[in-house]
A = this chain, B = another copy of it.
Amino acid sequence: MKPVNVGLLGLGTVGGGTAKVLSRNAEEITRRAGRGIRVVHAAARNIDSDNRPMGTEEAVLTNDAFEVVNNPDVDVVVELIGGYDLARELVLKAIENGKHVVTANKALIALHGNEIFTAAQEKGVMVAFEAAVAGGIPIIKAIREGLAGNRIEWLAGIINGTGNFILTEMRDKGRDFADVLAEAQALGYAEADPTFDVEGIDAAHKLTILASIAFGIPLQFEKTYTEGISKITSDDVDNAAQLGYSIKHLGVARSTEEGVELRVHPTLIPQRRLIANVDGVMNAVLVKGDAVGPTLYYGAGAGAEPTASAVVGDIVDVVRTLTSDPENRVPHLAFQPDALSDHPILPMEEIETAYYLRIHVSDKPGVIADVSRILADQQISIEAILQKEQPADADWVPVIMLTHRIREKQMNEAIKQIEALDTVKEQVVRIRLEALDSE
Mark A residues whose CB is within 8 Å of B.
17, 21-22, 24-25, 28-29, 31-33, 100, 113, 117-118, 120-121, 124-127, 130, 135-138, 141-151, 156, 212-220, 223-225, 231-233, 235-236, 239-240, 242-243, 245, 247, 250, 252, 255-256, 258-263, 265-270, 273-275, 277-278, 286, 288-300, 305-306, 308-313, 315-317, 321, 325-335, 337, 339-346, 348, 350-351, 354, 356, 358, 384, 386, 398, 400, 402, 429, 431-436, 438
Contact = CB atoms under 8 A, between A and B. Distances in A.
Contact of A325 (B124, B325, B329, B330): B124
A321 B326 contact: yes
A-side interface mostly: mixed
A406 to B, nearest CB: 14
Contacts of A127: 332
Contacts of A273: 436
Contacts of A216: 28, 31-32, 333-335, 339-341
B124 A328 contact: yes
24 contacts: A21-B291, A25-B149, A25-B151, A117-B337, A118-B337, A125-B327, A138-B146, A142-B146, A145-B330, A147-B313, A148-B312, A215-B343, A216-B340, A220-B345, A225-B348, A232-B431, A236-B358, A240-B356, A243-B386, A245-B356, A266-B432, A295-B298, A296-B299, A329-B329
A217 B345 CA distance: 9
B332 A113 contact: yes
Given A386-B239, A431-B266, A293 B321 contact: no
A283 to B, nearest CB: 10
Given A146-B313, A296-B298, A402 B151 contact: no
Contacts of A144: 330-331, 334
B268 A292 contact: no
A120 B434 contact: no
Contacts of A432: 265-268
A138 B149 contact: no
Contacts of A143: 334
Given A135-B292, A239-B386, 12 more contacts: A31-B216, A145-B330, A149-B316, A212-B334, A235-B358, A239-B356, A266-B432, A267-B434, A294-B438, A296-B296, A296-B299, A321-B329
A262 B345 contact: yes
Contacts of A400: 239, 243
A150 B266 CA distance: 33
Contact of A215 (B233, B258, B341, B356): B341
A144 B333 CA distance: 7
Nearest to A308: B291
A148 to B, nearest CB: 4
Contacts of A213: 333-335
Contacts of A231: 429
A313 B434 contact: no
A252 B259 CA distance: 44
Nearest to A208: B345
A15 to B, nearest CB: 14
B28 A351 contact: no
A293 B219 CA distance: 30
Given A141-B142, A252-B434, A429-B231, A299 B291 contact: no
Contacts of A265: 431-432
